[in-house]
Amino acid sequence: MTTLTNLPDGISILPITKWQNGHENFVHTFKENCSFKLSIPSSKSTNPYFDTTKNFQWVIQYALDHNIQLRALGNGWSFSEVAICEGGLVDTKALRLTFNLKNSFIAADYLQKGGNTGNLFFSECGISILDLDEKLEQDSNPRRSLKASGASNGQTIAGCTSTGTHGSAFNVGAVHDSIVGLHIVVGPDRHVWIEKKSNPVASDDFIKWLGAEAIKDDDMFNAAVVSFGSFGFIHGILIETEPIFLLEQYRTGNVVYNDSLKQVMNQLDFSSIQNQLPSSPDAGAKELYHFEILVNLQMFEPDNPQKGVYFKTMYKVPYRNDYTKIVVNDHGFTYGDDLLGVVESVLDGLGPGLSSLLVPGLVNKLFPLAFTANQSMTGTIGETFSNTKFRGKAASAAIAVQSDSASAVLEEIVAINSVTPFAGALALRYVKGTDALLGFTHFPKTCIMELDGVDCDLSRSFIKKVWTRLDELNIPFTMHWGKFNFGLTPALVNKMYGEKLRKWKFCRKQLLSDEAQKVFTNNFMLQCGLCD
């Protein structure tokens, strides 16, 4: 039986039993002596990456010997309990090795299709999106960019892809849609390299360097890429990048909500509002990259320009050196770590009646400070999507719907808000659909309804009413795995994903032994019906 004496080089005990997520939504208790921290082995080695793979396998054997569950710990970014378990955590944040693949490590098919060595960037699981942006945009030669990012960059790359972080890349998709290969440790004596058969990227030499078993299968890759830690420990990720580019961002205020805007929301047809956009969506060198509609639910009225919506548009343009870099204004207003917690306590202390009366005025006061109209700026993707504005005890839910139902869903949300005011705001973002079996950007043209605000009883009640109402109306929708999703049940998840769910579960059973499935199963999966 594996013991805690004489731990392998690169493994140490993580002395935690109580742990709180980054957004302070919950505290979880873990079993004593069941959590570990992995780091790069200090001893001289010809392949420290391979030695770390062995350490992952040691940890899995320990879990098998002691009948415990394990989950990899990133930066604790998720609002839900998707990434925790009843056993322990494995802190992987020190695993930050990155490199470009040389020609001999790349499949001939990939190069013959026009790919090149500069496109592919390999990263260990623990690096944050923030640091990944820095390595690509500042240290790479030539400089590169990620294709997509979430609204903020605090997540680790493994946590980001595992929960389906979506961003708002109009023609690209979610973050995981730019991932082309995964190195996953699935047992004490097995680790695998997974890529699509339809898109081979890694050569036999690279897979041999990893020491991994090759699995080239589209379904298996599409299952594993969004699997919230349940397919094993993701050790390495191969990302497809592109030459560095800039995003020109514009904000426009008080756009009237009328039939013309509904046409945009539902069909992504911008012809009727061309004069309200900074540039045409088809303006040659300027590609519309990000389109977002911001709604203050407390000050919204159809056909009233004084109670309209905000636009946030971003255009992708070639990189140049002579742009004014985005500067974060730390002296102005921001939702600080303590403010949201104070507001939460006030609202909960007042009870539902008084808090319902207080919310509209509170939101109307804070909304203009957080979302400034008539603002423009230019930056790289790393500069544009930097640190989140909402810190501390924030509430965040994201519901994906088909874009053709966007205006109908908005109007349902407005109606719910008139009865149960939401202490926050609504953003509609548009993202290209994903091939990932359980990617929540599930629809070919996905509109994401993002609800961000104060984490209080009133907010949770409001969010729950939204997805309950959509289910009653039989409007197809999915929920972000890493945000508020306490309404998920086996029946609802099956309704959302259907055959894709069954295929995902089949792939997991094919990949993991029965014993390993127990190690990588948690209560969240049982709640959602993701395992038998």
Question: For residue 170, what pLDDT band results from cuts at 50, 70 and 90?
Answer: confident
What local confidence, expressed as pLDDT, does residue 337 receive? Answer: 46
- Min mean pLDDT across 29-43, 222-236, 371-385, 487-501 is at 371-385
Domain assignment present for 29 = yes
Q: Specify whether 316 is located in the same domain as 237.
A: no
Which of 436, 450, 444 shows the shortest CA–CA distance to 403? 444
What local confidence, expressed as pLDDT, does residue 159 receive? Answer: 87
- CATH number of the CATH domain containing 160: 3.30.465.10
- CATH number of the CATH domain containing 300: 3.40.462.10
pLDDT at 37 over 70: yes
Taking residues 256-283, what's their average pLDDT? 86
What local confidence, expressed as pLDDT, does residue 326 receive? Answer: 77
pLDDT at 182 over 90: yes
SS3 of residue 106 by DSSP: strand
What local confidence, expressed as pLDDT, does residue 391 receive? Answer: 54
For 465-509, what is each residue's pLDDT tens digit?
999 999 999 999 999 999 899 989 999 999 999 999 999 999 999
Say if residues 429 and 168 touch (Cβ distance below 8 Å). Answer: yes
What local confidence, expressed as pLDDT, does residue 2 receive? Answer: 67
Average pLDDT, the chain: 88
Distances (CA, A) of 478 to 80, 220, 227, 458: 15, 21, 15, 22
Q: For 347-362, give one letter per residue: b (16+ CB within 10 A) or e.
A: bbebeeeebbebbbeb
- CATH number of the CATH domain containing 61: 3.30.43
Q: Specify whether 48 is located in the same domain as 190.
A: no
State the Cα torsion 439-442-447-450 to the nearest 10°: -40
Q: Specify whether 281 is located in the same domain as 412.
A: yes
- Min mean pLDDT across 328-337, 382-391, 418-427 is at 328-337
Q: Which domain holds residue 219?
A: 98-243
Give CA 173 to chain center in angstroms.
11
Domain assignment present for 267 = yes
Cis peptide before 476 (omega within 30 of 0): no
What local confidence, expressed as pLDDT, does residue 362 receive? Answer: 62
DSSP state of 243: E
Domain assignment present for 531 = no
Calculate what percentage of the chain has a pLDDT beyond 70: 88
Which of 532, 516, 508 shows the shortest CA–CA distance to 219? 508
Looking at per-residue confidence, does 64 or 326 come out higher? 64
Strands, sheet with 179-187, edge to edge from the N-terminal-most edge strand: 98-100, 120-124, 233-240, 179-187, 190-195, 213-216
Main-chain phi, psi angles of 211, to 5 degrees: 75, 25
- pTM passes above 0.85: yes
Per the structure, the count of domains in the chain is: 3
- Min mean pLDDT across 154-168, 244-258, 262-276 is at 154-168
Q: Specify whether 370 is located in the same domain as 469.
A: yes
Q: From CA 97, how far away is CA 200, in angstroms rounded? A: 23
For 14-29, what is each residue's pLDDT tens digit?
998 888 887 777 788 9
Looking at per-residue confidence, does 395 or 339 come out higher? 395
Q: Is the dihedral of CA 436, 438, 443, 445 positive or negative?
A: negative
What local confidence, expressed as pLDDT, does residue 334 receive? Answer: 45
Burial (CB < 10 A; 0-12, 13-18, 19+), residue 318, is exposed
pLDDT at 202 over 70: yes
Q: Specify whether 196 is located in the same domain as 250.
A: no
91, 119, 153 - which closes a domain: 91
Say if residues 205 and 189 touch (Cβ distance below 8 Å). Answer: no
Looking at per-residue confidence, does 225 or 251 come out higher? 225
For 101-115, what is each residue's pLDDT tens digit?
999 999 999 999 888
Q: From CA 401, how far away is CA 470, in angstroms rounded? A: 10
Q: Specify whether 174 is located in the same domain as 281.
A: no
Looking at per-residue confidence, does 25 or 345 come out higher? 25
Say if residues 412 and 295 touch (Cβ distance below 8 Å). Answer: no
Distances (CA, A) of 456 to 95, 421, 423, 464: 36, 12, 8, 12
For 391-425, what is each residue's pLDDT tens digit?
557 778 999 999 999 999 999 999 999 999 888 88
Domain assignment present for 400 = yes
Burial (CB < 10 A; 0-12, 13-18, 19+), residue 474, is exposed
What local confidence, expressed as pLDDT, does residue 352 receive? Answer: 67
Q: Specify whether 283 is located in the same domain as 342.
A: yes
Tokens of 341: 């917690």
Domain assignment present for 508 = no
Q: Specify whether 291 is located in the same domain as 348.
A: yes
Q: From CA 414, how far away is CA 430, in angstroms rounded? A: 19
Question: For residue 452, what pLDDT band results from cuts at 50, 70 and 90?
Answer: confident
Q: Specify whether 317 is located in the same domain as 200.
A: no
For the chain, what's the residue count?
A: 532
Domain assignment present for 530 = no
How many other CB atoms are found less than 10 A from the CB of residue 524? 22
Q: Specify whether 134 is located in the same domain as 222.
A: yes
For 276-317, what is each residue's pLDDT tens digit?
888 777 666 788 999 999 888 888 999 998 899 988 899 999
What local confidence, expressed as pLDDT, does residue 221 receive? Answer: 98
Question: For residue 360, what pLDDT band results from cuts at 50, 70 and 90?
Answer: low
Q: From CA 296, how far away is CA 304, in angstroms rounded? A: 13
Say if residues 294 and 240 touch (Cβ distance below 8 Å). Answer: no
pLDDT at 513 over 90: yes
64, 91, 118 - which closes a domain: 91
Domain assignment present for 512 = no
Q: Specify whether 370 is located in the same domain as 234.
A: no
Distances (CA, A) of 172 to 148, 237, 289: 7, 18, 8
Question: For residue 331, what pLDDT band results from cuts at 50, 70 and 90?
Answer: very low
* One-letter identity of residue 355: S
Which of 147, 167, 176 shows the shortest CA–CA distance to 400? 167
91, 115, 147 - which closes a domain: 91
Q: Specify whether 66 is located in the same domain as 212.
A: no
Q: From CA 306, how far away is CA 458, in angstroms rounded? A: 27
Q: From CA 53, how far away is CA 193, in angstroms rounded? A: 12
Domain assignment present for 192 = yes
What local confidence, expressed as pLDDT, does residue 332 receive? Answer: 43
